[in-house]
Structure 1
Amino acid sequence: MIMDFMKLTLLQNAIGFKNGMKKRFFLVLCGICLFSLLITCAGAPKGEIYGGLGQPSDPVPVMEKARTGTLPGGLRYFILENSTPENRAYLTLAVKAGSVLEADDEQGLAHFVEHMAFNGTARFPEDELVNYLRSLGMRFGPEVNAYTSFDETVYGIEVPVETGADGIRRIPSTALAVIDDWTRAITFAPKDVDDERAVILEEYRARLGAMDRLRRQMLPVLFKGSQYAVRLPIGQQEIIENAPASRLEDFYRRWYRADNMALILAGDFDGAALEDSLAEHFSISAPATPLDRPSFDLPNPKKGQAEVLILTDPELTATRIDIYYKRDRQIPRGDLSYYREEIIDILIGRMLGFRFEEAAAKSETPYIYAGAGNIRYGSSSRFYVMTAQAKTAAAEDTLAELLREKESLLRYGFAENELALAAGSLVSDMRRMVSEKDKQESSGYINYMTRFFLQGGNFPDLEWELDAIERMLPHIGASDINAALKDYFKYDDVTVFISAPEAELANLPTEEQTRRMLRESRKMKVSPPEAAGVDEGFLSSAPNPGQIISRSSDEETGAILWELSNGAKIILKETNNKNNEIIFQAMARGGNSSAAPEDWRSVELASEMITASGLGPYTHADLMKKLADKQVALSFWTGGYYRGIQGSATNEDLENLFEMIYLGFTDPRIDPEAVNALLDQRRTALAQRSANPEAFFADEVNKVIYGGHPFFKPPELADLSTVNTGSALAFIQRCLNPADYTFVFTGNLDINAMQSYAETYIASIPQSESFDEWTRLEFRRPGKAEKTFYKGKDDKSLVYMTWFAPVSYSEPLSAATQVLTEYLDIKMTEEIREKLGGVYSISVGVSVSPVPEGELSMSVFFACDPRRADELSQAVLDVIGQTAIDEDTFVKSAAALKKQWETSMQSNSYIAQSYANSSVLLDLPLSRLNKRPQYYDEVTPADIQQLRSLLLQDGPARFVLYPGE
């Protein structure tokens, strides 16, 4: 797998927002987290700004519970004992070898070596490694994976732990043998290498498209003068086709050395016992010669240098502006001064994220969204990046807005209230993380330690961070923020990329216009930021409470069941999955299909309108500020046949969640300006959607499988002119009878508090006319059909095959469909990918839907060489139609599902969703969730055969997209 660090829709380390009522920032686990009092303007001496922690060059202490060291051969290791999720261990091998280390005739071989790691090692020849991992119930993708980037290759597996006769929990020795073989004993049999070429070439093909074409034009400009400009990890097609096995082994032996790799282990095992025995499992020898790994960095920034690249592509669907400001080189350090710099960067990112989101909610803003953040390449190269997606015909205005924001930052920085909001938000996040310190996911720790090994920096304990931030943050003020901002733009060495659909060419600024805008931006008129505050609380006074009129419990699950005086039903399930998390799901029957046909497009957008508009008397921007220092989220959603509300909170912020639920039911809000901004976003998204071959194909398939029914028809630009906010609000108001809903709460519940809040904020919601049934829409499934489409520039086909059959829903049937999905996934991978070399990946899905009537469905999707579309389609039919069931694969399939269930049961969201489904959609006991492993065990090969026979009675409907003629 290729790790793509040039995805233009994301910024590494950028702090930004997505649509939703409560906005979150992603913080790498145990990364820069903040806990503080109010920020004060600081001008303290250096000794004080570190709050007594030490001097600027003093090291940040390494996480105390992490065991680190070096094995006799020189292999570094990181071990972390962590019990979430239970009974699981995560094993990672990180290698500081990526595509930048390839010679000219090796381009693509770092990635090729990664593939070969799964195709044979000394102790696991051919497919034995894959078979072993599947025997543990592990699946490729979620639990077994690897990636190659410019600078590194990283392998990861997840396995169940074993408990020995001595009671010690251990990683299976065979799993450790897999990692050991990867360090020193990957085999490169010529036949295996030749077989894998086809798979890698199909991965190469799968990546073709508009974004790949942009990437290949942009990287040489952005990385000019460095190895990164000429070393895309996927490599060169002719080298992949022709490189001999010996050349791959040369690369492997040169860079997979003990002093260039690290073993990173985290999970529910005995860490001390593992460390004591580690040398017995890993026998890689010390290298005979010192490591000579070159470091590749970008040229130093030059004052006033500007590069502009304007690109169009017929398959692009969006116009993007990306501005890269090159910064001084900096190697990540593990000292206090670097830690403080990171805190300041996070604060700036969060403040700017608030600004961008508030602006995007205004209809006059020329962009749909914007973001900014620092990114790194190599050991020390850095950029500060500002990026935005422009509305239709608004590229020049969007560029102007980004430049205006830059000038505002340089001249005025941030207002004190912006700093306070950012600090409050970070305070809340840090408190949440500390409260869950023993419930953090092992996978997060793995990512954190891997980043530390590969990039440097620090990884302290959460408790140390809490103490450090308490000491440092009061001394971070406006002067520190402004100094950092000036450093971001110190050289004004800038690269501007403007990428757009060909249809937008006439609306784009020229290169000369862009350069002129860059020069003249320094003279722009900008205003200082407004210091707008927000009042506390949601409700001026608590509503008159209702009552709980019925109390019972579910004997099999222990769930508490209440019925309220207004007819609402509540299910409470206490868990210890998290220390301080409460998940909320409310669901009711009846959805968009019950609206009048002329209102379908309006009600389809109704929940998004509500979310974009705010809540009660508060605009979306008001809510963003009110919730900045809280851990609470709430959103509405509607589907074709049912609807709901979902949310989450900590115990400290739980009353705010209930207040928001009450406001959502009693005072739904549609803000005309927010709706106009939302519709602008939709117009922009739909204007060029059909230019993208994948989107075009998906829309055409959708039309056929739903028989052309107008309700299911993909939205088109013209449909937006029919959207009516009055119809949307009327539909939402129809959906707000509390008696229609079952409210589910899972997590670390305080039952007494839940009773008080339920009576005050849910039982008090007035009843209205019931809307508690779905409307069935009649349409005809395609049966056996063949549809061919032509679109796209690349030598790539997409194939989608689907089958449908009417059935009566049952839990055993649902379990059987999951087993069949797993079974076919393995078989398709073995046959279509491994044996035929026809695809990079192939997806299979079998499911049974209960709503509005039972229906069984199966689908297969893959991308391939257009000349092989028919051959591979027939191979899919052959796999599905096999009369005999492979017992070994069947057993692995059921085992994988049971392992997945074990992990899922440690998720409060999973339990809440299951209980809501049981109560509202299925009318089944809550205990169906606990019985799932039993259902998997009871599925037989005969059940699988019966399912296949039922599906194959009619169909398939096959859809093939070929390149445009």
Structure 2
Amino acid sequence: MKKLRMISRIFLLICLTAVFTANAQLNLSEKIPVDSKVKIGKLSNGLTYYIRQNAKPEKKVELRLVVNAGSILEDNDQLGLAHFTEHMAFNGTKNFKKNELVNFLQSIGVDFGADLNAYTGFDETVYILPIPLSDPNNFTKGLQILQDWAGGVSFEGKQIDDERGIILEESRLGKGAEDRMFRKIYPKQYAGSKYAQRLPIGKDSLLKTFKHSAIKRFYADWYRPNLMAVMVVGDIDVSATEKLIQQYFGGLKNPANPRPRTFATVPARTQHDGIVVTDKEATNFTVELNYSTVKTQPELTIGDYRKSSIVKSLFTSMLNQRMNELAQSSNPPFSFAGGNFGSYARGHEAFNGFAVPGPKGPDTALLAMLTEIERIKKFGFTQSELERAKKQQLASIERSYNNRDKTESSVLVEEYIRNFLQQEPIPGIETEFNYKNSLMPGVQLAEVNALANELKKNEKLFVSVQGPEKSNFTLPNKDKLIASIQTAANSPLKAYEEKAIASSLLEKTPAAGQLVSEKKNDALDITELIYSNGTRVIIKNTNFKQDEIILTGFKKGGINGYGINDKQSAAYATAAIQQMGIGAFSPVDLRKFLSGKIANASVGLNALSTRVSGNSSIKDMETMFQLMYLNFTQIRKDESLFNSWKEKTKSQIQFLMSDPTTAFIDTVYKVMYGDNPLAPSAVPTAADFDQINLNRAMEIFKEQTNDASDYTFIMVGNVDVNTVKPLLATYIGGLPSKGTKGAFKDNGVRILPGQKDLKFYKGKEPKSFIFNVYSGNIAYSESLALHTEMLSEILNIKIIEELREKIGGIYGGGINGSVSKYPYEGYTMALQLPCGPENVDKLTTAANAEIEKIKQQGPEQKDLDKVKKSLLEKYAVNSKDNRYWSNVLQGIYFSENDPERVLNYTKIVNEVSIEDIRKAAGLVLNNSNIIHAVLYPEK
């Protein structure tokens, strides 16, 4: 084994030496090439196209229409109409009348919202259309849809007026404390710029009253081929696709006198500024600081790439590690903090810092953030910090390179969108891997530290604080915020000091256990190993990703076995342990140790089991196992870190009940469970954390992890059974064992039977929320579980058709549910409909009518067929995914699911009948146990 590793390392060294030698003399002024795998062209009308053949996933293609126009281009009578135009693309086009487009896409397995979607930003509008290629005709239909969006939207008057309600419901969803505070801060943050006046959602008053001609004018002005790109990435033929693009989009014409596509600017700030905004419904404090915005240039040369994609990212990575270290200290100034370079404004950039204050309040958080930035300005980073950041970047790009032939089309197409809109380079992963491995070693600490000088050039800051009206501390005013900037600049500082950490995770290697049984399951293509300590390992070797290992594990038991006195100690045992570290490592030290490694593993308790979760690259697989072993055997006690985490968490959750929807859901849960003290809590309280006994929490965790017998571990990925056996024998076979069996525990918690109506009044905004919960006991079967899943999806189709498109009473919402086998056989279905108060009764009646119809008559065949197609298309993709198989195998070994149902999934889905769904609806939507709860605004 060691000899094989040595040969592998020598081979890797030779390869990397070749890479470095070949690129040692990179010409930094040379232009960054475009990946040869992507075909980029331009039609005579100016439309740009990107085509890339990519077979991950198979028989699927990702289509995008990208319009280089968004809300920034709206006229004063068009505020919100860039976004409204996006909606109208789904409401009737040249070749698809209203609903026909969505109906067709659903019929081929594309889900509205989840798959089919679009978004509008300040500077762009992007239409997202994934198309399954199980029928080759789907591809040309998809291109026809893109063609219609690009030049054939109907804008019928009735459809425009009907859509107003849906758009206003989308606007309503965003209203609340966060939105109210944002709308006070954002105009000052972008003062003097058009960006301050063009939020994509627009203004409700205009959305209700705009003339039809205004939205048609926006479409005519800006939806033109010389501002568009069509992107096709998937399991297609490039040459044939290029001809189809010419056929479908070559006839689009630009206006005779096109309006110039202008770009808004953001003026540099000339003085410090600040604002403090509070709201009685706010749930947390946040602090943000923004340096003055500067204009940026696209990355065109290798030198540009080195400066931005390497040097600047190293600077940001190290700064955020510093902030994380402060947040995870025993006396943290904030709960979380970080920084980045970015801006809402295209072509502009600013350094931004943000923090979530802890118990000491926003003053302390702001001063600590400013002080750490000052420390970096004065002293820079250390060589050790730089080396760790380099290792991490190189490890990340290496994994992407190793998986280069398994990259999903949806990932690639996002890169091409950024290339078209922002000129982000797309040299391809092979070239980028070479660049990073060639350029990274030459990056010096001095030049990374020099980036802090850029901050000194743009030191006119805008500082904002937002949060609840009432708190335990006195809030600063604008003058005090600005004064903090000078206080930090003048504070006496010491350079950051590195602390020595252990050089290995384990002090000694565990004594290996014995392999006592090995058998192969050819049907599932898995190998099952049994070790002498009673552990079982299931291995499924796949080639879905070249460099991915997924590790999961479980033992039946969990926190349901603990009574009311242990409730909080058991519930938060996992979180508490994770805050204190493992072995000789605090969380900060562990993060430093793992720099350059792609490996993680954790162990946690839930209601019914203890769970193992991990993943790694192939070369770091042993590190993953060592981390897992430490979680089982060497949890670490650090009372100061535990108390720090507890107080930070209490400060973050103390205002949660100020939010109307949160308070509503909390009340519904209490009513549902009759205030049962063992029932799950919808919203944690500060008192919950005061009830955690650290010693007891650690004891509970150890009770669930100190006996490995009857644990099942599942490995899925590019893993060879014979190669991994020594690691399994050591780190799984070597776990301590006492021979006890795991078992499910039913603690008796149930939703109370009967029918209940609840009205809850809270909130300034005219917002309501309908929340119906159906529940009860039921005989479990995997068939019923599938039928219930399909029932939910069928009802969601009807909710879109009736409640959204016909009534116009919702933007989003739906029903979901499941049938459970453990700890008792039962079902839960939940209907959620955010809406306006004036529509509560109408929507409740409409939803109930759809539910009753499906209980009495079953679904329409066309809707059942849509759901079948959707499930089968998802299965075709998921069956080539490691995490999917990890979940499937957990179901087989944890819940005793029938493996034949996985192997015959297509046949089983196709055999589901209208009567099957009707019967399922009668069982899980029978109204015998239902809570009908509605949130209303304050009277």
Structure-2-length-normalised TM-score = 0.95
Q: Give the alignment partner of residue 292 of structure 1, picking from 255, 260, 263.
A: 260
* SS of residue paired to 2:366: helix
Give runs of aligned pairs for residues 713-728 of structure 1, distance below 5 A: 713-714=680-681, 715-728=684-697
> Is the 2:150–2:224 Cα contact (8 Å) retained in structure 1?
yes
Q: Which residue of 2 aligns with 1:733?
A: 702
Q: Give the alignment partner of residue 822 of structure 1, picking from 790, 793, 801.
A: 793
Q: Which residue of 2 aligns with 1:310?
A: 276
Q: Give the total of aligned pairs.
A: 913
Q: For residues 348-377 of structure 1, give each alpha carbon's deviation from its aligned partner in whole angstroms, at most 9, with x where no partner exists.
A: 111112212222112311211111001133
**Distance in 1, Cα, partners of 2:810 & 2:504:** 55
Q: Give the alignment partner of residue 429 of structure 2, picking from 440, 462, 473.
A: 462
**Distance in 2, Cα, partners of 1:679 & 1:505:** 17
Cα 1:536/1:83, change in 2 over 3 Å: farther
Give runs of aligned pairs for residues 228-267 of structure 1, distance below 5 A: 228-267=195-234
**What are the ranges of 5 or more consecutive residues in structure 1 without an aligned counterpart?**
1-34, 41-47, 165-169
* SS of residue paired to 2:785: helix
**Distance in 2, Cα, partners of 1:114 & 1:702:** 38
Shift of residue 72, structure 1, vs aligned partner: 2.7
Cα 1:50/1:479, change in 2 over 3 Å: farther
* SS of residue paired to 1:326: coil
Shift of residue 287, structure 1, vs aligned partner: 4.2
**Distance in 2, Cα, partners of 1:837 & 1:409:** 53
Q: Give the alignment partner of residue 125 of structure 1, picking from 97, 112, 115.
A: 97
Give runs of aligned pairs for residues 674-753 of structure 1, distance below 5 A: 674-714=641-681, 715-736=684-705, 737-753=707-723
Letter in 1 for 2:780: Y
Give runs of aligned pairs for residues 56-455 of structure 1, distance below 5 A: 56=29, 58-162=30-134, 172-282=139-249, 283-289=251-257, 292-302=260-270, 305-342=271-308, 343-455=310-422
Shift of residue 614, structure 1, vs aligned partner: 1.5
**Distance in 2, Cα, partners of 1:110 & 1:489:** 38
Letter in 1 for 2:469: E
- Determine whether 1:889 maps to 2:863: yes
Quick check: 507-516 or 721-730, which moved more?
A: 507-516
Quick check: 336-345 or 226-235, which moved more?
A: 336-345
Cα 1:521/1:801, change in 2 over 3 Å: same
- Determine whether 1:860 maps to 2:831: yes
Q: For residues 293-348 of structure 1, give each alpha carbon's deviation from its aligned partner in whole angstroms, at most 9, with x where no partner exists.
A: 1110101343xx11101011111111111000014211323222321121111101
Q: Which residue of 2 aligns with 1:479?
A: 446
Q: Which residue of 2 aligns with 1:772?
A: 742
**Distance in 1, Cα, partners of 2:780 & 2:552:** 23
- Determine whether 1:904 maps to 2:878: yes
Shift of residue 393, structure 1, vs aligned partner: 4.0
Q: Which residue of 2 aligns with 1:939?
A: 912
* SS of residue paired to 1:384: strand
Letter in 2 for 1:897: L
* SS of residue paired to 1:869: helix
> Is the 1:325–1:489 Cα contact (8 Å) retained in structure 2?
no
**Distance in 2, Cα, partners of 1:488 & 1:438:** 40
**Distance in 1, Cα, partners of 2:623 & 2:94:** 58
Q: For residues 566-615 of structure 1, give each alpha carbon's deviation from its aligned partner in whole angstroms, at most 9, with x where no partner exists.
A: 00111111111111101011011111111132111011111112222222
- Determine whether 1:500 maps to 2:500: no
Shift of residue 291, structure 1, vs aligned partner: 5.3
Q: Which residue of 1 aligns with 2:783?
A: 812
> Is the 1:363–1:673 Cα contact (8 Å) retained in structure 2?
yes
* SS of residue paired to 1:720: helix
Give runs of aligned pairs for residues 461-610 of structure 1, distance below 5 A: 461-504=428-471, 506-610=473-577
> Is the 2:528–2:538 Cα contact (8 Å) retained in structure 1?
yes
Shift of residue 565, structure 1, vs aligned partner: 0.4
> Is the 2:709–2:739 Cα contact (8 Å) retained in structure 1?
no
* SS of residue paired to 2:713: strand
Cα 1:432/1:688, change in 2 over 3 Å: same
Q: For residues 180-233 of structure 1, give each alpha carbon's deviation from its aligned partner in whole angstroms, at most 9, with x where no partner exists.
A: 111110110001111111100111111111111112111110111111111111
> Is the 1:86–1:268 Cα contact (8 Å) retained in structure 2?
yes
> Is the 2:43–2:246 Cα contact (8 Å) retained in structure 1?
yes
> Is the 1:610–1:636 Cα contact (8 Å) retained in structure 2?
no
Letter in 1 for 2:695: G
Q: Give the alignment partner of residue 877 of structure 1, picking from 848, 853, 861.
A: 848
**Distance in 1, Cα, partners of 2:320 & 2:741:** 39
Q: For residues 613-641 of structure 1, give each alpha carbon's deviation from its aligned partner in whole angstroms, at most 9, with x where no partner exists.
A: 22222211121011111010112222112
Cα 1:309/1:804, change in 2 over 3 Å: same
Letter in 1 for 2:605: T
Shift of residue 658, structure 1, vs aligned partner: 1.4
Q: Which residue of 2 aligns with 1:11?
A: none
Shift of residue 140, structure 1, vs aligned partner: 1.6
Shift of residue 555, structure 1, vs aligned partner: 3.1
Shift of residue 771, structure 1, vs aligned partner: 5.8
**Distance in 1, Cα, partners of 2:640 & 2:876:** 46
Q: Which residue of 2 aligns with 1:27?
A: none
> Is the 2:501–2:585 Cα contact (8 Å) retained in structure 1?
no
* SS of residue paired to 1:566: coil
**Distance in 2, Cα, partners of 1:568 & 1:556:** 23
* SS of residue paired to 1:333: coil
Shift of residue 826, structure 1, vs aligned partner: 0.3
Cα 1:163/1:942, change in 2 over 3 Å: closer
- Determine whether 1:834 maps to 2:805: yes
**Distance in 2, Cα, partners of 1:639 & 1:704:** 23
Letter in 1 for 2:561: S
Q: For residues 131-174 of structure 1, give each alpha carbon's deviation from its aligned partner in whole angstroms, at most 9, with x where no partner exists.
A: 1110111102221000011111110011112576xxxxx86111
**What are the ranges of 5 or more consecutive residues in structure 2 without an aligned counterpart?**
1-14
> Is the 1:816–1:936 Cα contact (8 Å) retained in structure 2?
no
> Is the 1:582–1:745 Cα contact (8 Å) retained in structure 2?
yes
Aligned residues: CA RMSD: 1.9
* SS of residue paired to 2:414: helix
Cα 1:713/1:465, change in 2 over 3 Å: closer
* SS of residue paired to 2:282: coil
Letter in 1 for 2:278: T
Quick check: 873-882 or 513-522, which moved more?
A: 513-522
**Distance in 1, Cα, partners of 2:258 & 2:211:** 27
**Distance in 2, Cα, partners of 1:861 & 1:423:** 47
* SS of residue paired to 1:898: helix
Shift of residue 521, structure 1, vs aligned partner: 2.1
**Distance in 2, Cα, partners of 1:957 & 1:666:** 45
Shift of residue 251, structure 1, vs aligned partner: 0.5
**Distance in 2, Cα, partners of 1:677 & 1:49:** 50
Cα 1:506/1:657, change in 2 over 3 Å: closer
Letter in 2 for 1:862: L
**Distance in 2, Cα, partners of 1:254 & 1:480:** 46
State percent identity of aligned pairs.
30
Letter in 2 for 1:753: T
Q: Give the alignment partner of residue 929 of structure 1, picking from 897, 902, 918.
A: 902
**Distance in 2, Cα, partners of 1:713 & 1:466:** 47
Cα 1:927/1:613, change in 2 over 3 Å: farther
Shift of residue 448, structure 1, vs aligned partner: 0.8
> Is the 2:751–2:775 Cα contact (8 Å) retained in structure 1?
yes
**Distance in 1, Cα, partners of 2:162 & 2:485:** 51
* SS of residue paired to 1:848: strand
